[in-house]
Amino acid sequence: MENLEQLQRQALERVEAAENVEALEAARVRALGKKGEITQLMKTLGGLSPDERRAAGQALNRAKDKIAVAIEARRELLEAAALEARLATESIDVTLPARPGIVGRIHPISQTLEELVAIFGEMGFSVAEGPHIEDDFHNFTALNIPPDHPARQEHDTFYMPGDGEDDRKVLRTHTSPVQIRTMQTTEPPIRIIVPGRTFRADHDATHSPMFHQVEGLVIDEATHMGHLKGTLTDFCRAYFGVDDLPLRFRPSFFPFTEPSAEVDIGCSKEGGQLKIGAGSDWLEILGCGMVHPKVLENCGIDSTKYQGYAFGMGIERITMLKYGIPDLRFFYDSDLRWLRHFGFPPLEVPSLVRGM
């Protein structure tokens, strides 16, 4: 205990002499560590008489505190000096590119919607919308699909209770009712596309109970089938990005158009691989026709003065074909892995209107 003063003085000298944090830590261990000089002395207290023990204990504690305080002060000094040194030597290169943040992806359906609006917008179409919950009249009757028409069964309709006995509602089975709503409220000329959700009780790899269609409608005094063919040819070539994409208009039937056609695009299915625009196969992509005079009259439009064409197609279908997406069911799973794979970068301006 006699050399406590000396131990303390030497310990404090070592602390003051420490040039860096490591040296300081060595000084601390030598004095206050488990086997340090002061710690060792503490262990000898047990062999002293009670009076001696009290005096020696107090002296040791004072020495310990003094050294600890000196260590803390020295540590702060050394750390501040180290920081100063770093600040003096380091510099920030503000010209480095930023680290990329987490970026979301555009859903393929949204991407196709944007493309549709861009292409048809370029051709002078505007976008119209309508309700998802429809009545029988707009979804069927006004479109020349009377109550017992077989087309009603083919639509696998979701029915909903209406306000009264006989006016059940339907989840619209196609976007065509928006044709009716537009013609009821708009004086021709009319030139619209109607993208939106549609609903049918159907579910497999290429059908979903909720899916999307885009409808087109043109009504004026002079539009004929040549305009229909020209518009859809330009659209298909622009959308699929194939300037000489072959199209085939195949006679068909829809209650709301006369004559009606289905449109096929040329493709190759060789080796189980679909190539659009090449080869000798055909792929059906949409339905169309000249708007039936009865439909015009149902909407209060004079069919002796006005005429026009309409078309409709499935948005999932043309998306799957263009981007090679094999299964429809993953479209609505919100699986990030799927979205990262099939989605589109949000900040890329699509160059869409090709070949127009």
Where along the sequence are the contacts to ligand DAH (CB under 6 A)? 174, 176, 215, 254, 257, 287-289, 310-312
Q: What is the dihedral of CA 127, 128, 131, 135, to 10 degrees?
A: -140
E-assigned strands of 6-99? none
| Amino acid at position 325, single letter | I
Element of type H or E holding 29:
helix 21-32
- Residue with Cβ nearer ligand DAH (306 or 311): 311
- Residue with Cβ nearer ligand DAH (13 or 129): 129
Residue nearest ligand DAH by beta-carbon distance: 312
- Residue with Cβ nearer ligand DAH (41 or 180): 180
In 3D space, the residue among 179, 178, 138 whose CA is nearest the CA of residue 162 turns out to be 138
Task: State the pairing for strand pair 247-254/257-268.
Answer: antiparallel
Sheet containing 133-135: order of strands: 133-135, 169-171, 159-160
Q: Considering the complex, what minimum distance in angstroms separates the CB of residue 341 from ligand DAH?
A: 29
Q: Considering the complex, what minimum distance in angstroms separates the CB of residue 216 from ligand DAH?
A: 7
Beta-carbon neighbour count of residue 157 at 10 Å? 20
Q: Considering the complex, what minimum distance in angstroms separates the CB of residue 275 from ligand DAH?
A: 26
Q: Considering the complex, what minimum distance in angstroms separates the CB of residue 165 from ligand DAH?
A: 28
In 3D space, the residue among 218, 217, 187 whose CA is nearest the CA of residue 302 turns out to be 187
- Residue with Cβ nearer ligand DAH (157 or 176): 176
Q: Considering the complex, what minimum distance in angstroms separates the CB of residue 220 from ligand DAH?
A: 16
Q: Are 264 and 248 in contact (CB under 8 A)?
A: yes
Token pair 């993953």 in the structure block, residue: 330
- Residue with Cβ nearer ligand DAH (172 or 237): 172
Q: Considering the complex, what minimum distance in angstroms separates the CB of residue 254 from ligand DAH?
A: 4
Tokens of 231: 């518009």
Q: Considering the complex, what minimum distance in angstroms separates the CB of residue 302 from ligand DAH?
A: 20
CA distance 327 to 82: 60
- Residue with Cβ nearer ligand DAH (125 or 342): 125
The single-letter DSSP state of residue 180 is H
CA distance 162 to 134: 10
- Residue with Cβ nearer ligand DAH (8 or 257): 257
- Residue with Cβ nearer ligand DAH (249 or 311): 311
CA distance 230 to 57: 104
Q: Considering the complex, what minimum distance in angstroms separates the CB of residue 215 from ligand DAH?
A: 5
Alpha carbon of 61 to those of 3, 31, 49, 73, 173: distances in Å?
A: 15, 12, 18, 18, 88
